[in-house]
Amino acid sequence: MEKIRYFDHAATTATKEEVLKEMLPYFSLNYGNASSMYSIGRKSRKAIEEARQKTAHAIGAEAKEIYFTSCGSESDNLSLKGVAYANRDRGNHIITTKIEHPAVLHTCQHLEKEGFRVTYLNVNEEGFINLSELENAIGKETILISVMFANNEIGTIQPIKEIGEIAKKHQIYFHTDAVQAIGNVRIDVKECNIDLLSMSAHKFYGPKGMGALYVKTGVKFEKIQDGGHQERNMRAGTENVAGIVGLGKAIELAYEKFDGYNEKIMSLRDYYISQIQEKISNTKVNGHRTKRLPGNANISFKYIDGEALLLNLDMKGICASSGSACTSGSLEPSHVLVAIGLSPEMANGALRVTFGDDNTKEDVNYLVDSLVEIVEKLRKTSQEYMKFNK
């Protein structure tokens, strides 16, 4: 098989060797249950607390404010349901946005069925919420604002500090889904007045099936899973010690190598965008030009079907992602691209390319050359294109 060139780091990343190395002993050597008193149990407990410290340190939190979960989706569920249920006596209104990840959107829909009221804020063409629209949506019943730090499809980074200030002023809890931002953006939860923050290890070169949630001391929230007293009684289930160690190591590495890494992927991204703009006509960069994740490029190719584009890229060993909700096999355009006002045609022709540690400039050249060839081929069979570009 030919070499795989991976440009889908927003979907997942490979677990780093260094991370895996730290995890391995906790499977069959130091396998003790962290709740056990004997030595191998205590070793597990110690490893968990060290990882908690590293995770807290990376975002300017305290160790006791970190709860380990099974994934980013669980962290989002625990944040929204946990705060909603525990603060019912204060109100039933939640504010979020139209471009959240399904882990937030579908949790909100679930809460609506249980009697909560949810406002879904619009975003502009670049994917930003409007701060006065946010402030106007706040009412006496509002208990929680949930706005993602950075969008997974178009990379737009929200004005988190300003949102935190608004939430603080109105004494409303502020949750942010930072699953895409961790490792790519410097985050200080205190400086941004963030009350709850979700993250997921597999998006920053840690293992899949491992998440964490920061909850500021004093925030009233309740557990959503019943069982043992793990994670200070907020998240039942025997701790995934190896996974926790992996998350801790991955987040430590991400912030140790922050500048070099982010400069590298940003320059690959900018090179890619400029090459596409130079070599392929009828394209549009989605999202904001600079206030976006360093490794994210989302470009719409007019007159192109995203699915066909992905299939053709796959034949060349290239992994990327389309703008349609392809995971479910549906042909619906992405809710994010619809929210930023793309026509169905442009949304359908969107390609998300997300760069990471393993990419080189040579890889980008290969990607660009492949796209030039594939787009030309597909456009030749597009009636629309032939009609307008004879």
Ligand X SMILES: *Cc1c(COP(=O)(O)O)cnc(C)c1O
Q: Is 16 in contact with 326 (CB distance < 8 Å)? A: no
Q: How far is the CB of 154 from ligand X (least distance, A)?
A: 11
Identify residues 97-156 at the interface with ligand X (CB under 6 A).
101, 103, 148, 152
Residue with tokens 């149990």: 41
Mask for 177-196, x = binds ligand X (CB under 6 A): x-xx----------------
> Quick check: 251 binds ligand X (CB under 6 A)?
no
> Quick check: 66 binds ligand X (CB under 6 A)?
no
Q: Is 308 in contact with 378 (CB distance < 8 Å)? A: yes
Q: Which of 233, 194, 199 shows the shortest CA–CA distance to 215?
A: 194
> Quick check: 324 binds ligand X (CB under 6 A)?
no
Q: Which of 126, 125, 138, 130 shows the shortest CA–CA distance to 97?
A: 130
Q: Which is nearer to ligand X, 212 or 276 (CB)?
A: 212
Among 19, 58, 59, 71, binds ligand X (CB under 6 A): 71
Among 155, 164, 183, 211, binds ligand X (CB under 6 A): 211
Q: Which is nearer to ligand X, 13 or 230 (CB)?
A: 13
Upper half-sphere CA count for residue 349 (Cβ side, 13 Å): 20
Q: Is 16 in contact with 205 (CB distance < 8 Å)? A: yes
The 3-state DSSP composition of the chain as helix, strand, coil percent (nearest 5) reads: 45, 15, 40
Q: How far is the CB of 129 from ligand X (least distance, A)?
A: 15
Strand-pair partners of 198: 177, 213
> Which stretch, 48-56, 67-75, 182-190, 310-318, contacts ligand X (CB under 6 A)?
67-75
Among 44, 200, 262, 382, binds ligand X (CB under 6 A): 200
> Which stretch, 48-56, 110-118, 175-183, 372-380, contacts ligand X (CB under 6 A)?
175-183
Helices 361-380 + 306-315 axis angle, to 10: 130
Which residues are identified as catalytic? 326
Q: Is 207 in contact with 243 (CB distance < 8 Å)? A: yes
> Quick check: 59 binds ligand X (CB under 6 A)?
no
Using CB under 6 A as the criterion, which residues of the chain lie in contact with ligand X when the complex forms? Answer: 71-73, 76, 101, 103, 148, 152, 177, 179-180, 200, 203, 211
